[in-house]
Amino acid sequence: MLQISKMLSLTPFGPSAWLVLHPDHSKLKALGRALEQEAPADFVDYTLGYESLLILFRAPVPEAVVRVYLDSLTLDALGDQSSTHHHIPVSYDGPDLEDTAKALKLTCEELVQLHSSALYQVRFLGFSPGFPYLDGLPERIHLPRRSSPRPRMNPGAVAIGGGHASIYSIASPGGWHWLGNTNFPIFDPQKNDESAFALKSGDTLTFIPQND
C-alpha cells in the first residue's frame, strides 16, 4: 500500500483543519479525489490551492490520526481522471496589449503569437468564482503585474500576470495585463453547482486568435 503521508508536509490550520503541502499539484488533486471517495467520518470538505490542499474536519483531529488516514487510502483512489481540452477564442484587442508588447520588447504580433501558441493547464480556480490560474505561459512573456491595478476588468478579459495567464470570470479590479477578450462562458452565475464553472483543475486549453 502506498504511504501517502510520507510524500506530504502537514501544517495545522486552525483547530479543525490541516494544510497539506506538496509542490506537485497533480498529487494534491489526486488526494482530493481520494478524500471524496474514501472520506472519514469527521471529514467536511477540502480546498485545492496552488501547492496546498486544505482538509477540513468537524472536530480537531491529531496529526498522527490524519497521517494514518491518508496512508489508508488505496492506490486505485489516486488514479487519474479524464480532463477536458478547451479552445478559447480571443480577440486580441485588450487595452494593455501594446504596452505589454513594448515592455517585453516584442511587437504586438509576436506577443499574440507567443501567447496563443502555448498549451495551458488549469492549476486551480480562485481569486473570484471560476477564475483559472493557468500554467504554461511561455517564459519569454512572463511579466510582473501592473504597478497600478485597474479598478475594473471585464468578464472575459484575457490577461497575464507574473508567470501565469488567466481569464477574468466576473467584473472586478485586477492588476494583470489585459491582452484581449473572449466570449467563452467560463462562469455562469445562474447555476448553483459545479456546472457553473466551465473549467476545472487539470483541464487544458489553447487560445485561438479571432479576426475582427
* pTM (predicted TM-score): 0.72
User: Which of the four pLDDT bands, split at 50, 70 and 90, describes residue 4?
Assistant: low
Strand order in the sheet with 9-12: 9-12, 17-21, 52-57, 43-48
Can you tell me the mean pLDDT for 29-47?
A: 82
Which residue range forms the structural domain that includes residue 63? 4-78
**Residue 205 clears pLDDT 90, i.e. is over it:** yes
| 71 and 89 share one domain | no
The confidence score (pLDDT) of residue 194 equals: 79
**Residue 75 clears pLDDT 60, i.e. is over it:** no
| 10 and 34 share one domain | yes
The confidence score (pLDDT) of residue 9 equals: 84
- 73: which 3 cell numbers? 487510502
The confidence score (pLDDT) of residue 120 equals: 96
- 211: which 3 cell numbers? 479576426
| 10 and 29 share one domain | yes
The confidence score (pLDDT) of residue 204 equals: 92
| 68 and 142 share one domain | no
- The CATH number of the domain holding residue 27 is 3.30.1360.40
Going by C-alpha positions, the residue among 136, 190, 128 that lies closest to residue 157 is 128
DSSP string, 155-178: TTEEEEEBTEEEE--SSEEE-SEE
Element housing 125 (H / E): strand 120-125
The confidence score (pLDDT) of residue 1 equals: 42
Q: Rounded to whole angstroms, what are the CA distances from 31 to 21, 45, 79, 165? A: 11, 12, 10, 25
- The CATH number of the domain holding residue 138 is 2.40.100.10
| 149 and 177 share one domain | yes
Is the separation of the CB atoms in 90 and 55 below 8 Å? no
| 51 and 104 share one domain | no
The percentage of residues in the chain with a pLDDT greater than 70, rounded to a whole number, is: 92
Is the separation of the CB atoms in 10 and 57 below 8 Å? no
